[in-house]
Structure 1
């Protein structure tokens, strides 16, 4: 998959409920799919089977992409319990992670926003002194 995704492949990938967006070299997955994938993996299913069940087999996106996603998501969710209230309807899939996970994510986002604000202030100060 070194050459990236063609326009047709991007259109196909964007049509999948598990995919939020796709560019020539990047796929953004729906949060419910990430949760589902980790839960299914913890229950003994292989990553390839999980991805293939949602139209994302290695013949489409490559083995390495599947392996890297699963590694990243396993680290993201760690040993935390993930509760999924997903229905199997591809048009109306919702998920709910435990409160602790959401609070940790919110804390991380707030810290990132604070850092961005500080950076903006520094840039404004530099412009004023020039």
Structure 2
């Protein structure tokens, strides 16, 4: 099993997110608030990838397996689930639909920003290789 290493740019980006408590080259520790909020939204029927993306944690950056494993781990954490259930909203659309939409859009912007930074790193690496081969 290969563990994906985050680039320095990705580590910096992840550290700036409120959902992330700490990050290393291959590990992310999420804030307790994010874990509870994530599971509350999951209980309300949102897809895990949507929840993570809205927090700026695109599966394209952190990996789909990491999203799946976090949800699976948090589902069996009694403290997280008790807190999520006590804050859970049930029924159709909640009154904060507009706020949630803004949050989702902000997450998408963050995710796209991270993808742009990753692409910039790739372009820079390709330019260095080109310079080396020409020089």
Same fold (TM over 0.5): yes
Matches within 5 A, 1:84-123: none
TM-score (normalised: structure 1): 0.60
- Answering whether residue 110 of structure 2 is matched by residue 83 of structure 1, we say no
SS at match of 1:56: coil
Corresponding residue for 1:36? 37
Specify which structure has the higher proportion of helix. 2
Unmatched 5+ residue regions in structure 2? Answer: 89-99, 104-135
Aligned partners of 2:39 and 2:81 also within 8 Å: no
Per-residue deviation, residues 54-103 of structure 1 (Å, max 9, x unmatched): 0001111000000000110111037633438xxx9x9xxxxxxxxxxxxx
Aligned partners of 2:36 and 2:81 also within 8 Å: no
C-alpha deviation, 1:44, in angstroms: 0.3
C-alpha deviation, 1:23, in angstroms: 0.3
- Which structure has more relative contact order (CA 8 Å, sep 6+)? It is 2
Number of aligned pairs?
87
Question: What RMSD in Å do the two structures reach over aligned CA positions?
Answer: 2.4
Structure with max Cα Rg: 1
Unmatched 5+ residue regions in structure 1? Answer: 91-130
In structure 2, how many angstroms separate the alpha carbons of the residues matched to 1:55 and 1:83? 22
